[in-house]
Every structure is written in structure tokens, then in C-alpha cells.
């Protein structure tokens, strides 16, 4: 078992198939698939995306999850190993497949996601190695099976391991009580504009800044707004400060799936390296700009040299 884990990332793995269609699908009507590679499997899942990007960049980042009988035959295991992802946090379940998604997109860019829970279904008992939690510098919690996320959060809180939370308005993965518990025990929270509104409602806040008063652990809140500048709200010398950080705009957008996870991974990479929050956001935007230039969440991860080059070109030295 590995020592000195930078990040444990908890959530659903996903074997993704991306399907482009010619029209909005309807019952009792055939819809034409446009892409010949519709059956190709892309490896993903929020926690897998974050752990893989960080591993490629040299961090010890482990996905915490369950997989099924197809872990090897699908190429998933080999894919992770080729990218230096440590597999110590992965449990294998027999007689079931790994969770997966069908991501369907029409010509207007509207999406339908069909998800199979597989080995991450709530039917299976939660088994998380507490020693892994104890060895981690941070636990990242993303969308995942409710009981699994709950147990991971409880173990992190018990062992004083800081939580980094990727807010998702998925109330199968997080009911209001679990959301409150995770939010009030997180060091960093990532959210978009609509998720910010949900947090304000759930935590009964007049504004998101009040979360810093309610939580003794929160250090930074990151609010993304698509291709508009991200808001960074953070504590510095017990004072709440705000920054706005531009997003890199690229003319080569092919697939935005996984852009948010890439942003999180980049931000966390900068944070682990001791960078200021604004620089962390710049790194997040830079990595995200690479990911959206190819189809699939993990098909265009930059190495450190490519990352630094684009980061400098856009944001300066």
C-alpha cells in the first residue's frame, strides 16, 4: 500500500460512450446516430478524471471506488496504469459490470445522460480502507453513491483529513443533510452559478460569503460561470477576499465533457504546489482548455511542459 497520498478522490467511475444524433430523440421514432465511433468507450467519472489528471502531473492521486468484472477487459485498468494512477483505492465486485454512461448530444448541443450504476449500486456494502484515508492529505468528494460518499466523508472528518468538495445538485448522491455535513467540513468547495444558489438555499445563507462565518474549516470557494471569469472567494488573514480570474477561450472546442473536472484538477494541482488561489484558478482554466479540444474527458491531458507553455502564453509569467 502506498504512503503519503496527495489526494483520494471519491465518486462514480464511468465507462462513457458518446453518441451524436441528428435530431431530438422521441419515443416510437428512430433517431439516427451520426458518429461512427459511437461504441468507443472513454474512461471517466468525476473522481477518475481528477485523479488521472493529477497522476499524469506527478501527484499521488487515488480514485476511491468500486469496479466490476470488466475492469480489465474494458481496458480501464490498463488505461489507469499507463497514466500512473495508483489502484489501491479500488475495490472489485464480482458478477456485475463497472458503472457507465451513454452521453447523447443533438445538433443544438442539448444533452441526455443515461447512467448505469453497476458496481457502485447501493446494493453493495461500503468497504473503505480507513488507513488510506489516514494517509491522504485531502479527500476529494464528487458525485457518487450516497452511502459510499457518506462513509468517506465520515472517515475524513473522524481523522481530520481536509475535504475538497465538487458540488453537484444530484440529490441521489447527496441529500440535504449530507450536503450540509460535507459543506461545513470542506476546506475548498467548487460550484457553478446555479449550484451556488442551491448551497445558499440549503444552508439558509443570504449570500455565499456567509458560509465562511458558518464553517471554521472553509478556506476557499470557487464559482465557475462557463466561459466567463470564475469567482474566487477566500480567506486571507481572517479576512474574506474576492478575485475574478479569466477563462482561457479556445477556438478548437470539440467536447466540453469533463471540463469542470479538469478545472478542479488543475486548481488542486496548483494548491498542492503552494500557489496562490488566483494562480490555482489559472492552472485550472489552462488544463480545462486542453481537455475540451478532444473528445473524451481524459484524451488530451497536458504534461507539465505543455501546461506551463499555455499558462504563460495566456496569463503571463
Statement: residue 205 has pLDDT above 80: yes
pLDDT of residue 1: 61
Buried b (16+ CB within 10 A) or exposed e, 274-302: eeebebbbbbbbbbbbbbbeebbbbebbb
Task: Reduce the secondary structure of 145-185 to three states and give it as a string.
Answer: CHHHHHHHHHHHHHCCCCEEEECCCCCCCCCHHHHHHHHCC
Work out the end-to-end distance of the chain between its first and last CA atoms, rounded to an integer number of angstroms.
39
Rounded CA separation 29/52 (Å): 39
CB 54 within 8 A of CB 86: no
- Give residue 174's pLDDT band: very low, low, confident or very high (50, 70, 90): confident
Q: Which CATH number applies to 1-161: 3.40.1190.20, 1.10.760.10, 3.40.50.11740, 3.30.300.130?
A: 3.40.1190.20
pLDDT of residue 255: 85
Where are the strands (E) in the chain, listed by range? 5-10, 14-20, 42-44, 61-67, 90-92, 100-105, 111-116, 136-141, 163-166, 186-192, 220-225, 228-236, 239-245
| Tens digits of residue pLDDT in 43-62 | 999 999 999 999 999 999 99
pLDDT of residue 38: 95
- Give residue 2's pLDDT band: very low, low, confident or very high (50, 70, 90): low
For residue 255, the SS3 value is: coil
| Closest residue by Cα to residue 195 from 222, 172, 173 | 222
- The mean pLDDT value of the chain amounts to 94
Statement: residue 3 has pLDDT above 70: no
Q: What distances in angstroms separate CA 229 from CA 77, 80, 225, one per listed residue? A: 36, 32, 6
Percent of the chain with pLDDT over 90: 85
Strands 239-245 and 163-166: unpaired
Which residues share a beta bridge with 212? Answer: none
pLDDT of residue 168: 77
Rounded CA separation 264/260 (Å): 6
Statement: residue 102 has pLDDT above 80: yes
pLDDT of residue 317: 66
Q: What is the mean pLDDT of residues 176-195?
A: 94
Rounded CA separation 99/47 (Å): 13
Per DSSP, 208 falls in state G
CB 5 within 8 A of CB 161: no
pLDDT of residue 85: 98
| Closest residue by Cα to residue 109 from 292, 240, 317, 235 | 292
| Closest residue by Cα to residue 300 from 42, 20, 19 | 42
- Give residue 27's pLDDT band: very low, low, confident or very high (50, 70, 90): very high
Statement: residue 172 has pLDDT above 90: no
Phi, psi (deg, nearest 5) at residue 64: -110, 110
Q: What is the mean pLDDT of residues 201-227?
A: 92
Amino acid at each position: 500500500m502506498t504512503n503519503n497520498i496527495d489526494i483520494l478522490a471519491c465518486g462514480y467511475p464511468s465507462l462513457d460512450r458518446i453518441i451524436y444524433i441528428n435530431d431530438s430523440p422521441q419515443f416510437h421514432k428512430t433517431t439516427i446516430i451520426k458518429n461512427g465511433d459511437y461504441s468507443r468507450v472513454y474512461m471517466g467519472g468525476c473522481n477518475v478524471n481528477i485523479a488521472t489528471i493529477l497522476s499524469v502531473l506527478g501527484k499521488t492521486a487515488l480514485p476511491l471506488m468500486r469496479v466490476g468484472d470488466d475492469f480489465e477487459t474494458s481496458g480501464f485498468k490498463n488505461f489507469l496504469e499507463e497514466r500512473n494512477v495508483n489502484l489501491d483505492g479500488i475495490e472489485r465486485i464480482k458478477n456485475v459490470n463497472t458503472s457507465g454512461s451513454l452521453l447523447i448530444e443533438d445538433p443544438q448541443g442539448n444533452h441526455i445522460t443515461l447512467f448505469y450504476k453497476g458496481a457502485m449500486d447501493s446494493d453493495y456494502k461500503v468497504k473503505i480502507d480507513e488507513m488510506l484515508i489516514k494517509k491522504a492529505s485531502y479527500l476529494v468528494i464528487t458525485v457518487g453513491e450516497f452511502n459510499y460518499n457518506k462513509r468517506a466523508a465520515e472517515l475524513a472528518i473522524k481523522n481530520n483529513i481536509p475535504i475538497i468538495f465538487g458540488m453537484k445538485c444530484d440529490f441521489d448522491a447527496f441529500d440535504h443533510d449530507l450536503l450540509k455535513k460535507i459543506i461545513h467540513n470542506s476546506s475548498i468547495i467548487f460550484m457553478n452559478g446555479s449550484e451556488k444558489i442551491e448551497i445558499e438555499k440549503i444552508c439558509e445563507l443570504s449570500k455565499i460569503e456567509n458560509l465562511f462565518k458558518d464553517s471554521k474549516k472553509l478556506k476557499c470557494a470557487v464559482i465557475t460561470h462557463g466561459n466567463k471569469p470564475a469567482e474566487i472567494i477566500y480567506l486571507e488573514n481572517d479576512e474574506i477576499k474576492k478575485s475574478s480570474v479569466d477563462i482561457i477561450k479556445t477556438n478548437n472546442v470539440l467536447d466540453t465533457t469533463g471540463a469542470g473536472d479538469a478545472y478542479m484538477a488543475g486548481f488542486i494541482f496548483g494548491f498542492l504546489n503552494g500557489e496562490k488561489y488566483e494562480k490555482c484558478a489559472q492552472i485550472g482554466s489552462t488544463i480545462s482548455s486542453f481537455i475540451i479540444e478532444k473528445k473524451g474527458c481524459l484524451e488530451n491531458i497536458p504534461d507539465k511542459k505543455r501546461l506551463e507553455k499555455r499558462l504563460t502564453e495566456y496569463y503571463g509569467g
